């Protein structure tokens, strides 16, 4: 029996950051309430939700009570502990399902999943101690990147293994956590596919977008990516294959590297899968017929997916990081700029405070 939320129902969201906030805003527009569950007492999503629970992700009683009081559970981050996901699924429908979480929160499981589905990744090896790091370096070579299997984001939990680096010191620098060693991919650009899959397998992708990072943090996204049309089709095919293989329900983002070699067609290599709405999809709030946030709510509600068509010739999204947010008045004065602030009081370095979207008009004629 397909599931369908009734208008007025409550969506439970694990995590109360800006993604939870923008999900709650989209849910409200569709007549749904949002209950935020987070361990952070000061969360941006609290301003715009109907109910909140502040408790740890290990608190079985609080998780069960939360799940009993909502009609579907989703999340804005992939590091939901497996035990928490199991408790929630006993009490409520969780979308995307726990399998997507298990695959996407562990870099090794993710690489193995991609390999099993014949999707290209960077060369990699599992690393559990300094000895296995030495064997991995012998195989993968240098420079390469040691990444913790879990809890890495925005470049955290990663270290470059250069020529001459002491491997025991390198392994300890990540706290001795289980890791993988990845070969450095000589990419020409980074792209992502943000797409949704519904409960009946229906699939809708946004334009492939192109991303630039600064200090490992997403700085800029352009949609569509400047890419050969065949590569864009291939990128969407890969994202759909991933969503189908996970029997995924909701919005996901697949980050990829584009590798260009003389005399060969560009190759796409998957870096990471985010089982959630994604920063590289923020442009859809102003730049597409249905935003990624509304799309995620539609998908998990069992409702029809919306059209993903882009407005304008192209769309740019700039993150406002740290003190860049202080320019908000100047951005507000700019015709055609759409400003989104996340309600965070303190503009700490590296903190995502908001973003701005600019839509380039379609050429006349
Ligand atoms: P990640 O946390 O895996 O998304 O990595 C953050 C950023 O580091 C990516 O967006 C890339 O810019 C860079 N990066 C990660 N892995 C690789 C790799 N294997 N080769 C080259 N650059 C990488």
Of all protein residues, the one whose alpha carbon is nearest to atom 19 of ligand 1 is 184
Identify the pLDDT of residue 172.
93
Of all protein residues, the one whose alpha carbon is nearest to atom 1 of ligand 1 is 155
Q: Is residue 2 part of a domain?
A: no
- Model confidence pLDDT, tens digit, residues 206-258: 999 999 999 999 999 999 999 999 999 999 999 999 999 999 999 999 999 99
To the question of pTM greater than 0.95 for the whole model, the response is yes
Query: How many domains does one find in the chain?
Result: 3
**Residue 207 and residue 335 in one domain:** yes
**Residue 214 and residue 354 in one domain:** yes
Average pLDDT estimate for 112-132: 97
Of all protein residues, the one whose alpha carbon is nearest to atom 17 of ligand 1 is 184
Identify the pLDDT of residue 295.
99
Identify the pLDDT of residue 201.
98
Atom of ligand 1 nearest to the CA of 152: 2
Ligand 1 and 177: CB distance under 6 A: no
Ligand 1 and 145: CB distance under 6 A: yes
Q: How far is the CA of 191 from the centre of ligand 1 (A)?
A: 12
Q: Is residue 102 part of a domain?
A: no
Task: Provide the residue range defining the domain that includes 57.
Answer: 10-94
Q: How far is the CA of 185 from the centre of ligand 1 (A)?
A: 8
Among 183, 202, 219, identify where a domain stops: 183
What gap in Å lies between CA 254 and CA 192, rounded to an integer?
Answer: 5
Ligand 1 and 200: CB distance under 6 A: no
Asked if residue 107 has pLDDT above 60, the reply is yes
- Model confidence pLDDT, tens digit, residues 64-105: 999 999 999 999 999 999 999 999 999 999 999 999 999 999
Identify the pLDDT of residue 362.
79
Read out DSSP for 244-264? Answer: HHTT--EEEEEEEEEE--TTS
Q: How far is the CA of 145 from the centre of ligand 1 (A)?
A: 8
Kindly report the CATH number assigned to the domain that includes residue 86. Answer: 3.40.50.20
Q: Is residue 105 part of a domain?
A: no
Distance of CA 180 to the CA centre of its chain: 20
Read out DSSP for 165-204? Answer: --HHHHHHHTTT--EEEEEPP--SEEEEEEEEE-TTS-EE
Mutate to test the pocket of ligand 1, among 184, 271, 274 (most ligand atoms within 8 A of CB): 271
pLDDT interval class at 1 (50, 70, 90): low
Q: Is residue 99 part of a domain?
A: no
Kindly report the CATH number assigned to the domain that includes residue 161. Answer: 3.30.1490.20
């Amino acid at each position: 029996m397909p599931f369908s939320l009734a208008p007025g129902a409550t969506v439970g969201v694990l995590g109360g950051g800006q993604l939870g906030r923008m999900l709650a805003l989209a849910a409200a527009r569709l007549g749904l309430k949002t209950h935020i569950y987070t361990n952070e007492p000061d969360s941006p999503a609290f301003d715009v939700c109907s109910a909140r629970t502040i408790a740890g992700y290990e608190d079985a009683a609080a998780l069960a009570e939360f799940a009993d009081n909502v009609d579907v559970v989703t999340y804005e981050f992939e590091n939901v502990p497996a035990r928490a996901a199991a408790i929630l699924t006993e009490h409520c429908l969780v979308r995307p399902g726990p399998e997507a979480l298990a695959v996407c929160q562990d870099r090794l499981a993710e690489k193995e999943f991609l390999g099993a589905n014949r999707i290209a990744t960077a060369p990699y090896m599992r690393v559990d101690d300094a000895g296995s790091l030495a064997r991995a370096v012998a195989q993968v070579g240098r420079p390469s990147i040691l990444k913790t299997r879990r809890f890495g984001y925005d470049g955290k939990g990663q270290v470059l293994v250069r020529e001459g680096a002491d491997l025991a010191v390198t392994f300890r620098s990540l706290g001795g956590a289980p890791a993988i060693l990845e070969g450095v991919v000589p990419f020409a650009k980074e792209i992502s596919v943000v797409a949704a899959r519904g409960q009946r397998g229906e699939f809708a992708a946004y334009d492939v977008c192109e991303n630039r990072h600064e200090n490992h943090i997403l700085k800029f996204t352009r949609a569509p990516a400047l890419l050969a049309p065949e590569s864009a089709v291939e990128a969407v095919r890969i994202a759909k294959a991933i969503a189908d293989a996970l029997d995924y329900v909701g919005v996901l983002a697949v980050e990829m590297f584009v590798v260009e070699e003389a005399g060969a067609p560009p190759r796409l290599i998957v870096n990471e899968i985010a089982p959630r709405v994604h920063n590289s999809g923020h442009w859809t709030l102003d730049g597409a017929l249905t935003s990624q946030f509304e799309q995620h709510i539609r998908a998990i509600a069992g409702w029809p997916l919306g059209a993903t068509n882009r407005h304008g010739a192209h769309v740019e999204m700039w993150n406002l990081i740290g003190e860049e947010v202080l320019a908000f008045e100047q951005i507000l004065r700019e015709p055609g700029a759409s400003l989104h602030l996340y309600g965070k009081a303190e503009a700490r370095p590296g903190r995502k405070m908001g973003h701005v979207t600019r839509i380039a008009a379609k050429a006349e004629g």
